[in-house]
Amino acid sequence: MPAIDVGDITLHFEESGSGAPVLLIPGTAARGRTWWLHQVPALVDAGYRAITLDNRGVGRSGPARPGLTVADLVADTVAVIQRVAGGPCRLIGTSLGAYVVQEVLLARPDLADRAVLMASRARPDAVSLALAAAERAMADAGIVLPPGYDAVNRALQNLSPRTLEEPETAQDWLDILEMSPTDWADEGQRPQLEVTVDTDRREAYRTIRVPTLVLSFADDLIAPAVRGRELAAAIPGARYTRIADAGHYGYLEQPDAVNEAVLEFFADA
Q: How far apart are CA 62 and CA 79, in angstroms?
A: 15
| 40, 31 contact by CB (below 8 A) | no
Contact in structure between 80 and 53 (CB atoms under 8 Å): yes
**Nearest of 128, 119, 124 to residue 214 by alpha carbon:** 119
Residues identified as active-site: 95, 220, 248
